[in-house]
Amino acid sequence: MVKKKTTTLDSIEASKTYACTFFSQRNNDAAPSFCVFAASAGDVLEWSDIERLGPGVQGVQRRENIAKRRQISKFFENEANTIPTAIVIALDQSKVSADENQLTIPITSGPKKPGLVIDGQHRLLGISDFDKNVKVPVVAIMNATDTEKAFQFLVINNKGSKVSQNHIKALALTFKPKDLSQRLKAAKIALDSERLGHVEIINGAGSPFANRVDFPTTKGKLKKIVPEAFERSLQYIESLNLPKLDDHDVQRDFFVAIWKAIVAAWGDAAFSDNCKLTEKVGIICMSRFVVDRLAAMADLDELDLDLSDFAEVASQVTKLLKRQTIEFWNAKWKGSGYDTALGHTKVLEALVRISRNIKDGREWEADVDIV
């Protein structure tokens, strides 16, 4: 049964009214009731807070991931793309006015808004960045205690089942495979969890490696880099369990951000015929060298680098490159066999030595054993 709640809306600047449906899943007073309605993303942000875990913060929401927020906004640039998943909000029932099929929410100037986002912060923020007038489905928890809010957050984020890869592939066969694949690629979503799908996206528009991956389907004469170079690099990033990089799509975009900065600094020289930087050994070793240093920056309280802020990541990569040189990758290396575990170790040691040499004002090749 719907629980009616009528409240006089005082001391407010404005209010928003929505047609809605109330219902309860349990027939007892201990369980919360729900209200389902549609509202623009901008509206929801006007009357809802997003509180995050962190120093001095008591809310239930996780820290914002800038990369995920941007992915949502980018996703909506395709006019065919939509997200039907609801935003879950806890509403302070003492601050709203409700009847059988209508809900009025005040927009207050005070420090605490009537709503609190329980799930969907990145969807909400990303959609609002794209166009705050885009509507989102909302499920409001009407009479939740602080404990209930935390409980709902934990349940939603730990008990939800991911769609199996077999199910996804079955859908791809049921519908037009080419159309579905193209749409997923445009949205920068890999069809499955295999890294090869992410390499295909790295080979596409907006990447410094566009049309440079040695796939049979790659058009043009630029292709030269074997897919394994990217697969191994993405695998290394995932293995580090870096903060805010727990999603395969975000890990891929983090990798692309690093290499955009490298290519911006060294230009076409990075892709010259004899340059080892964009061979397998170069991609793997340079990626690992840079990622290790960015990870160290993220761990230092003094720097507290946000690895999901790709603009800041690129800025830090540019600074790191001031102690590196493209000449190393164009130089003749002693012997061969560097595309091995031992070879990779030697290249990484060389990169560390070059960084120290340039910092100390020495010639970059001093004591670099492999040149």
Same structural domain for residues 143 and 231?
A: no
Whether the predicted model's global pTM rises above the 0.75 cut:
no
Taking only the tens place, the pLDDT of each residue in 94-143 is: 888 888 889 999 987 766 889 989 889 999 999 999 999 999 999 999 87
Taking only the tens place, the pLDDT of each residue in 236-274 is: 999 999 988 988 889 999 999 999 999 999 998 999 988
Residue 171: band (very low, low, confident or very high) from pLDDT cuts 50, 70, 90: low
Pick the residue with more confidence: 155 or 144?
A: 144
Same structural domain for residues 112 and 209?
A: no
Same structural domain for residues 204 and 294?
A: yes
Helix segments in the chain, DSSP class H? 41-47, 66-75, 121-130, 146-159, 165-174, 177-186, 195-202, 227-239, 248-266, 280-299, 310-321, 326-330, 341-359
Same structural domain for residues 202 and 127?
A: no
Is residue 351 situated within a structural domain? Answer: yes
Is residue 64 situated within a structural domain? Answer: yes
Read out DSSP for 35-103? EEEEEEHHHHHHHEE--BSBTTB--SBPPP-HHHHHHHHHHTTSTT----PPEEEEE-GGG-EE-SSEE
Same structural domain for residues 149 and 202?
A: no
Is residue 184 situated within a structural domain? Answer: no
Number of domains the chain contains: 2
Residue 238 structural domain: 194-359
Q: Which of 110, 132, 159 is the last residue of a domain?
A: 159
Is residue 247 situated within a structural domain? Answer: yes
Please say if the pLDDT value at position 348 is more than 50: yes
CA distance 290 to 259: 10
Same structural domain for residues 210 and 355?
A: yes
Confidence (pLDDT) at 11 = 43
Confidence (pLDDT) at 183 = 65
Q: Which of 159, 174, 209 is the last residue of a domain?
A: 159
Name 88's bridge partners.
119, 139
Same structural domain for residues 206 and 153?
A: no
Please say if the pLDDT value at position 1 is more than 50: no
Q: Which of 38-47, 90-99, 271-280, 312-321 has the lowest mean pLDDT?
A: 90-99
Is residue 370 situated within a structural domain? Answer: no
Confidence (pLDDT) at 224 = 84
Is residue 332 situated within a structural domain? Answer: yes
Residue 153: band (very low, low, confident or very high) from pLDDT cuts 50, 70, 90: confident
Taking only the tens place, the pLDDT of each residue in 37-76 is: 999 999 999 999 887 443 333 444 456 788 889 999 999 9
Is residue 339 situated within a structural domain? Answer: yes
Is residue 18 situated within a structural domain? Answer: yes
Q: Which of 139, 159, 179 is the last residue of a domain?
A: 159
Counting residues of the chain whose pLDDT is more than 90, the rounded percentage is 53
Same structural domain for residues 144 and 201?
A: no
Residue where the block lists tokens 């005082």: 10
Instruction: Report residue 120 as tokens.
Output: 């969907």
Confidence (pLDDT) at 28 = 81
Same structural domain for residues 202 and 154?
A: no
Mean pLDDT of 19-42: 90
Half-sphere exposure of 175 (CA within 13 A, CB side): 12
Same structural domain for residues 202 and 340?
A: yes
Question: Residue 231 class from Cβ within 10 Å (0-12 exposed, 13-18 middle, 19+ buried)?
Answer: middle
Same structural domain for residues 154 and 200?
A: no
Residue 321: band (very low, low, confident or very high) from pLDDT cuts 50, 70, 90: very high
165 backbone dihedrals φ, ψ, rounded to 5°? -65, -35
CA distance 5 to 140: 14
Same structural domain for residues 123 and 208?
A: no
Mean pLDDT of 177-206: 71
* CB-CB contact of 192 with 184 (8 Å): no
